[in-house]
Amino acid sequence: MLLLRRLLASRAHASLLWSPASWAAGRRHCHGRELTHKQWRGPRSRIIGAEYREAYQSASEEPDAFWPDVAKNLVWDRKWIRVIDDYNRPFTKWFPGGEISVCYNAVDRHVEAGKGDNVAIIYDSPVTNVIAKITYKELKDQVSRLAGVLKKWGIRKGDRVIIYMPMIPETIYAMLACSRIGAIHSLVFGGFAAKELAVRINHAQASADDISMTPGRDEVWQEAVDLAEPADCVPIEAMEPLYILYTSGTTGLPKAVVRPAGGHAVNLLYTLEKVYGVKDDDVWWAASDLGWVVGHSYICYAPLLKGITTVLYEDPEGQLGKKFPGKKLRHLFLAGERCDQETLRWAEHAFGVPTLDNWWQTVKVLLEDGLEAAPNQLGNVAIRLPMPPGSLSTLFRADDVFVVKYFEKYPGYYDTMDTGMLHKNGYVSIFSRSDDVINVAGHRLSTSQIEEVGVSHTSG
């Protein structure tokens, strides 16, 4: 049984196919395995040559012309005053003055365009043996009614809403319902236990009572939704948060990444079309978890903004790749940690399609002193400012930490905290996190490089 729980919070404080093994649209290496242009086929091959160079040059030299051309593919309630306000780095503003409803663009506009009967979500649960198809019309009904429940509870624009739910359609409904009324959702990965959940609730300035159902506070989901009045979309400023996503906290306290609504929507729609080559009638499966950034971006928002079908499914043993020929499967994109060779070979064998990795960022490789590394020299991967639309705009309640952690080490750059190499041919290899490097007599050795040598030895 799904329960809806009111979070006790003060106003304006708080209220509730891809494989993510984090990979960039320009990275074409997997542990030293370089993909040639002949190997790099399909939708992404279009952006490697002339189209990629043209887009890169235009976005770099004429952002005021490039990004509005992308943004026009979305519906804006109010047009932006300017495209970019870069006077207060690193707090760059994209589309300031503009107003947008991400929920409207992901749901309502497709229904209004006559696509209400198109399938928005395919939910296939091997645990419960449930297979369900949710159309855009059904999605709008569920989302608007759930948004009505939130409004009944007094949740308004700018409030934070904590979502702690599994990989089910209702989780997407909850995300979109928050967006619909201008609330800011923070979806917590279901694998986190009570302690980690409590940290995130407290930092978001929200509180929750016992897990057991308490009359007057908790409601049964379906009963509440069935009785609710549908809520209309509430547009928000382009730079206002769409959501807050907490990092895993493996290197300290979790950091609350803020994603601005306008730029994030523009970036997601652009990458889905140009990087992944997704077409209007495609079915897209991102084999991530909704609680991670890939799940937010490419299970929920990007495919729905495009108006295609997104799949919720888990296949931990990869049986479907062997059972069905998958003639319509074009590519498998990998993202997350660096890909080990064994996983790469397994994926290519199981699915029989090009297995491509991506890392999402355009980079410079810098040494510890901030100077640019020579070609093929291991260094720290950094991104020259300004950050593009859709990037994290700050850390929630921690602007000072945002500056110190990501921008202080290399002035004028964003420190990704990854190590890598930039090759003479422009290709990039990402090896490991920067704190996963061994310094021996002044020589920086990536543990992933050491591992690669070990596993490739013939006696291994």
pLDDT digit string (tens) for 262-320? 999 999 999 999 888 899 999 998 888 898 888 999 999 999 999 999 998 765 565 66
In this prediction, residue 166 carries a pLDDT of 86
| Whether the predicted pLDDT of 363 surpasses 90 | no
The pairing of strands 332-335 and 355-357 is parallel
Cβ–Cβ < 8 Å for 167, 187: no
The answer to whether the Cα torsion of 446, 449, 455, 457 is positive or negative is negative
| Whether the predicted pLDDT of 150 surpasses 80 | yes
In this prediction, residue 170 carries a pLDDT of 93
pLDDT, tens digit (0-9, with 9 covering 90-100), for 366-402: 567 666 767 767 788 888 888 889 889 999 999 999 9
Q: Residue 304 is inside which H or E element, if any? A: helix 302-306
| Whether the predicted pLDDT of 23 surpasses 60 | no
In this prediction, residue 214 carries a pLDDT of 58
The answer to whether the Cα torsion of 172, 173, 178, 180 is positive or negative is positive
Report which of 18, 26, 17, 27 is spatially closest to residue 338, judged by C-alpha positions. Answer: 27
Q: Which of 34-43, 59-68, 69-78, 130-139 has the lowest mean pLDDT?
A: 34-43
In this prediction, residue 393 carries a pLDDT of 93
Residue 304 phi, psi (nearest 5) = -75, -35
Higher pLDDT, 201 or 367: 201
pLDDT, tens digit (0-9, with 9 covering 90-100), for 96-112: 999 999 999 999 999 99
Cβ–Cβ < 8 Å for 386, 52: no
In this prediction, residue 241 carries a pLDDT of 96
Other C-beta atoms closer than 10 Å to the C-beta of 326 total 16
Under the phi-then-psi rule, with left for phi > 0, alpha for psi from -120 to 50, and beta for the rest, what region is 313? beta
Report which of 81, 87, 47, 89 is spatially closest to residue 64, judged by C-alpha positions. Answer: 81
Pairwise CA distance, residues 420 & 429, whole Å: 5
Pairwise CA distance, residues 353 & 324, whole Å: 13
In this prediction, residue 355 carries a pLDDT of 75
- Structural domain boundaries of the chain? 3-456
Cα 325 to Cα 95, 261, 291, 330: the distances in Å are 45, 39, 30, 12
| Whether the predicted pLDDT of 346 surpasses 90 | no
| Whether the predicted pLDDT of 452 surpasses 80 | no
Higher pLDDT, 195 or 443: 195
Report residue 373 as tokens.
């590394």
Is residue 94 helix, strand or coil?
strand
Pairwise CA distance, residues 368 & 379, whole Å: 8
In this prediction, residue 26 carries a pLDDT of 32
Cβ–Cβ < 8 Å for 72, 299: no
Report which of 264, 239, 259 is spatially closest to residue 97, judged by C-alpha positions. Answer: 239
Other C-beta atoms closer than 10 Å to the C-beta of 24 total 21
pLDDT, tens digit (0-9, with 9 covering 90-100), for 223-267: 889 999 999 999 999 999 999 999 876 556 788 999 999 999 999
Percentage of the chain with pLDDT > 90? 40
pLDDT, tens digit (0-9, with 9 covering 90-100), for 400-445: 999 999 999 889 988 888 888 888 877 777 777 666 656 665 565 6
In this prediction, residue 49 carries a pLDDT of 65
Pairwise CA distance, residues 286 & 147, whole Å: 26
Pairwise CA distance, residues 185 & 296, whole Å: 11
| Whether the predicted pLDDT of 163 surpasses 60 | yes
Q: Model-level pTM?
A: 0.80
To the question of domain 3-456 being in CATH 3.40.50.12780, the answer is yes
In this prediction, residue 179 carries a pLDDT of 97
Q: Residue 222 is inside which H or E element, if any? A: helix 221-227
Query: What average pLDDT does the chain have?
Result: 79
In this prediction, residue 459 carries a pLDDT of 63
Q: Name residue 246's beta-bridge partners.
A: 256
**DSSP code for 29:** E
In this prediction, residue 308 carries a pLDDT of 97
Report which of 198, 203, 194 is spatially closest to residue 256, judged by C-alpha positions. Answer: 203
Report which of 14, 23, 4, 44 is spatially closest to residue 288, judged by C-alpha positions. Answer: 23
Q: How far is CA 220 from the centre of its chain?
A: 30
- DSSP letters along 97-139, please? T-EE-HHIIIIIHHIIIIITTSEEEEEEETTTTEEEEEEHHHH
pLDDT-derived band of residue 120, with 50, 70 and 90 as boundaries? very high
pLDDT-derived band of residue 93, with 50, 70 and 90 as boundaries? very high
pLDDT, tens digit (0-9, with 9 covering 90-100), for 49-70: 678 788 888 988 899 999 999 9
Residues 56, 389, 255: CA angle, nearest 5 degrees: 125
Report which of 64, 24, 59, 23 is spatially closest to residue 364, judged by C-alpha positions. Answer: 24
